[in-house]
């Protein structure tokens, strides 16, 4: 099985969305964006919740936020 190659950036061409924590309803802090190298390119953004001390990923294709 091939390893999945990715590329990370803190300055994506399209800004990360503004999201609220699903646990405490406070704004999440953007960390970085990851792009999958396979076609079609996948994109997901990493966020932290300063209040809950939790990390989340937002997947653009599915528009889902999940705890990481």
List, for the chain, all residue ranges whose pLDDT scores fall below the cut of 50.
1-2
What's the order of all strands across the beta sheet hosting 64-67? 6-9, 29-36, 43-49, 54-59, 64-67
Residue 5, pLDDT score: 79
pTM of the predicted model, to two decimals?
Answer: 0.85
- Of 68, 51, 9, the closest CA to residue 59 belongs to 68
């Amino acid at each position: 099985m091939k390893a999945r190659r990715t590329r990370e950036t803190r300055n994506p061409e399209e800004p990360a969305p503004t999201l609220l924590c699903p646990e405490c309803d406070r704004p999440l802090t953007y960390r970085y964006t990851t792009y999958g190298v396979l076609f079609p390119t996948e994109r997901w953004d990493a966020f932290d919740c300063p209040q809950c001390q939790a990390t989340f990923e937002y997947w653009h294709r599915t528009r889902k936020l999940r705890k990481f």
